[in-house]
A and B are shown apart, each in its own frame.
Chain A
Amino acid sequence: MQTLLIAAILILFLVVVFQIAKTSEYVAMIRGYENARKQSNRINAFLLLAFLVLGLIGVYYCNEVLKGRILGEPASDHGVLVDRMLYVTLAITFVVFLITQIALFWFAYKYQESDNRKPYYYPHNNTLELIWTVIPAIALSVLVGFGIFYWFKITGPAPKDAMVVEVVGKQFGWEFRYPGADGILGKKYFKKVDAANSNPAGQLWEDPANQDDVFVEQEMHLVVGKPVQLVIGAKDVIHDVGLVHFRLKMDAVPGTPTSMWFTPTYTTKEMKAKTGDPDFVYELSCDQLCGKGHWSMRGVIVVETQEEFDAWLASKKPQYLVANPDKDPATKKDSVGVAPLTGAIIR
């Protein structure tokens, strides 16, 4: 009902505006088109100037309102580079924006039609053309240079001591695999994926490297200050590992593994203190349309100290033992607790 009412009001509004516009045409006819044209010319020229002034005020106001809601401090080493590049680009483009927009609207206002003005016949000027070819070219070369320099730093090979985590996207969630004590992710084959039999990643159990791999869902743990290389894949369609606080992003493509690395610089706890937000979490978002649940494909990342991380990992049973309970020493010796034993396996 309310919607209909709004629609009715809008239609009424349209009819009224249309009638006014029609009347204005008759008024113009009576007053003479030439006069009407000149008058609307003056009005519109003034409005262009007003648009420029109000627009610039609006740009300032918009920034005041929203600047607090955008980029906090980046939480990774690469994020620092991304932000620096962003602000350098912002500075350069904003200057160009101001100059060109002011020129555009000011000229449109200043040189509005007047009976006394003769337009200046000015078809070309090679010097000017050269100047505004060369200056943008130089500015852009600087941006390209910096950009590519940072780009290679970010996309370059991961340090040797980086820990490895496998990230796999599926409709609609995230799966993670840690290589365990040997530091090697075991081999997998997609045709072995069998969630019903506790093998959601399709690990090949005959590969010994698989025996200590830990599989978890939805929550990834990382160590502060320690480089991490994400080995990224997808099960069904293309997803994207979006790490907004770390300023990183990489597609997860079925059949084509991708990877990225970075060093988290603040633990979740430190970020809670920094942002003053006790509910702060690092979130992992899917940034590539992957189906109807795309918007809710959320993962959580916990950045913690090495000790906390070790304790967390130790609490997880390797997927090999979950899938093959007969191999699990814990189930054979039921007198001994699970956690210390699996911890021993990982170390």
Chain B
Amino acid sequence: MSETTKVQAAVVTHAHTHHEDHGHHEQSFISKYIFSMDHKTIGKQFLITGIIWAIIGGFFSVLFRLQLGYPEASFPILETVFGHWAKGGQIQPEFYYGLVTMHGTILVFFVLTAGLSGTFANLLIPLQIGARDMASPFLNMLSYWFFFLAGIVMAASIFVHTGPASGGWTMYPPLSALRQAGDGQKIGTDLWLTSMALFVVSSLLGGLNYISTILNMRTKGMSMTRLPLTIWAVFFTAVLGVLSFPVLLSGAILLLFDRNLGTSFYLSDIVVNGEVLPNEGGSAILYQHLFWFLGHPEVYIILLPAMGMVSEILSVSSRKPIFGYMAMLASLFAIATLAFLVWAHHMFVTGLNPFLGSVFVLLTLLIAVPSAIKVFNWLTTIWRGNIRLTPAALFAIGFVSLFISGGLTGIFLGNSTIDIHLHDTMFVVAHFHIVMGVASMFGMFAGVYHWFPKMFGRYLNNTLAYIHFWVTMVGAYLIFWPMHYQGLAGVPRRYLDKRGWASFSQFGELDKMITIVSIIVFVVQLLFVVNFFYSIYKGRKVRTENPWGANTLEWTTPINPGHGNWEGDIPEVHRWPYDYGKDGREFIPQTEPVGSGESKH
């Protein structure tokens, strides 16, 4: 370590000691913390808002897990809190479906899209490419505030009398189009659609900003192939978002028209509750095409930033270069491209033309190839490394484990023959929670633990971090691994009580176990939240600019960088970001010129 410190000292010879000084412009509280145009502050805003949404969304899952684990039990406290939604202390079906819909929407969009790429794209892009801020700090600020507004509308929908939208997070019409079809299809669904529209605006403003910043504002010497993989990952994420979110917007707006203006985009031949509707000629399946044209890239919008951060963190903590940088890049590119060509694998049993279905099988299973490359490259990265098992590194390792497990079950579902049986069963729930939900969450935690010192100038408490990791890791497998068996038995998802079924009622004990574990895991997430907020104010202070001994540019900024990030000139870049363990040196920052005797890679 002493060697490390020496090297660090050498790197930061030009460090400025007066980093408390915020430079040329005085900022009021409002312009510094609320309507901030500093990418770092906006990143923190996204993160903290995401954390709050994650608590809400996670809490909802605890509620419906109670119903799933104990369908016969009564919890009087629920009636005290939720009134007629939990009549007699039992979660009512409308409430149950409202909860699962909100859980899905919140976690997919507000936490794992905005909370994940919003946080880390904002924080890392300027810091790692060597820019003072985003291409348009103002649009960046708008991006957050549109997200905030979307959140307000969504939160409001939870409190309306008829309850929030309850058509599932995919919001398929005609269910979501017909007010007569249920309480959750009334005003709650209009608010859901409005919130989504605002969210799309936020996402586009952010995404366009990320792309233009990465393409145009890299510092001198920072060629595209010298970018850290985090930046490549958020770049592809932003491209995916910009190309696919508008399609969701159009789908949502057509649905709003069908609901409110009497159009028939998705409606045809409908008799609901004995009432014959006039609509003819629409296609309910059209919505699914529009939705999944976003919905599938969305999965990768969630996953790619996590992959990028995991690549970076595994390399830093193994003290070894990432294995196969170009292959990692190519596989990111392949995944991003294929992400647009596989959407109909969500629709194998909608009556899709079987030939078309077979094309989508081929393209879907093709994604497994770049995914496999990534896994093997991560494994080779830690092979013969000198791994520092920081909390971030543990979460990165956990991510790889979960990505393997969840990715492999994707091979089942992507194969239409098997999907006929497994479609819309608990197998799907287990699959996407592991590969997209928990894995991306792990990527996010890894990122938070790794960059918290950069964000707040303090460390998170390590003991709490380790407890957090181990309980979450063990809990994730305990919850979702046995759930696959329910799916193999054909148990459909979104069944709130299976006791009336001869074929699906054999998992009562298992459901109880899953419920108990998910409550424990939820409580431990609260421990993380406590750690997070406590450490912002009371955590151990960061005393060195480069606590992890990393090569990337963000660790050349002052410990608490002001708006503009670097106090002097922006550093120039001379090499790729992964020179760890080269020529007997522990690490060589990107800012160091290539020496004459240095070996090539």
7 contacts between A and B (CB under 8 A): A21-B461, A45-B389, A69-B489, A103-B379, A113-B387, A118-B584, A133-B372
**Smallest distance from the beta carbon of A102 to chain B beta carbons, Å?**
10
Of the candidates A40, A82, A92, A295, the one having the most CB atoms from chain B within 10 angstroms of its own CB is A295
Q: Decide if A171 touches B272 in the complex (CB within 8 Å).
A: yes
Known contacts A111-B382, A244-B503: A3-B93 contact under CB 8 Å: no
Q: Decide if B350 touches A18 in the complex (CB within 8 Å).
A: no
Docked Cα-Cα span, A148 to B414, in Å, equals: 11
Top 5 A-B residue pairs of the complex, sorted by shortest distance between their CB atoms: A255-B268, A258-B351, A244-B490, A155-B354, A119-B581
Q: Which residues of B contact A (CB under 8 A)?
A: 1, 75-77, 92-94, 97, 166-168, 172-175, 178, 181-185, 267-274, 276, 280-285, 318-327, 349-351, 354, 357-358, 361-362, 365-366, 368-369, 372-373, 375-380, 382-389, 394, 397, 400-401, 404-405, 408-409, 411-412, 415-418, 420-421, 423-425, 461-464, 466-467, 470, 473-474, 477, 481-482, 485, 488-490, 492, 494-498, 500-504, 506-507, 510, 523, 526-527, 530-531, 534, 540, 578, 580-584, 601
Place the interface of chain A in its size category: 35 or more
List, in ascending order, chain A residues with CB within 8 A of B394's CB.
44, 48
**Smallest distance from the beta carbon of B80 to chain A beta carbons, Å?**
9
Docked Cα-Cα span, A232 to B350, in Å, equals: 11
Q: Decide if B411 touches A122 in the complex (CB within 8 Å).
A: no
Q: Which residue of A lies closest to B359 (CB)?
A: A148
Q: Decide if A292 touches B285 in the complex (CB within 8 Å).
A: no
Known contacts A3-B75, A152-B358, A251-B351: A287-B270 contact under CB 8 Å: no
List, in ascending order, chain B residues with CB within 8 A of A245's CB.
503
Which of B76, B178, B386, B400 has a CB less than 8 Å from the CB of A104? B400
Docked Cα-Cα span, A117 to B400, in Å, equals: 24
Known contacts A40-B466, A85-B415, A124-B326: A283-B424 contact under CB 8 Å: no
Known contacts A14-B527, A152-B358, A235-B272: A48-B397 contact under CB 8 Å: yes
**Smallest distance from the beta carbon of B528 to chain A beta carbons, Å?**
11
Q: Is A311 an interface residue (CB 8 A)?
A: no
Q: Is A158 an interface residue (CB 8 A)?
A: no
Q: Decide if B373 touches A132 in the complex (CB within 8 Å).
A: yes
Q: Decide if A254 touches B387 in the complex (CB within 8 Å).
A: no
List, in ascending order, chain A residues with CB within 8 A of B474's CB.
51
Q: Decide if A14 touches B412 in the complex (CB within 8 Å).
A: no
List, in ascending order, chain A residues with CB within 8 A of B283's CB.
255-256
Of the candidates B167, B421, B501, the one having the most CB atoms from chain A within 10 angstroms of its own CB is B421
Q: Is the interface of A mostly helix, strand, loop or mixed?
A: helix
Q: Which residue of B lies closest to A86 (CB)?
A: B418
Which of A97, A121, A238, A256 has a CB less than 8 Å from the CB of B408? A97
List, in ascending order, chain A residues with CB within 8 A of B282's CB.
255
Q: Scan A243-265; emit 1 where CB is below 8 A from any B CB, else 0.
A: 01101111101111111000000
Docked Cα-Cα span, A290 to B185, in Å, equals: 11
**Smallest distance from the beta carbon of B393 to chain A beta carbons, Å?**
8
Which of A111, A112, A144, A155 has a CB less than 8 Å from the CB of B365? A144
Docked Cα-Cα span, A92 to B408, in Å, equals: 9
Q: Decide if B175 touches A89 in the complex (CB within 8 Å).
A: no
Q: Decide if B380 touches A121 in the complex (CB within 8 Å).
A: no
**Smallest distance from the beta carbon of B35 to chain A beta carbons, Å?**
34
Docked Cα-Cα span, A135 to B72, in Å, equals: 50
Q: Decide if B354 touches A151 in the complex (CB within 8 Å).
A: yes
Which of B322, B323, B412 has a CB less than 8 Å from the CB of A93? B412
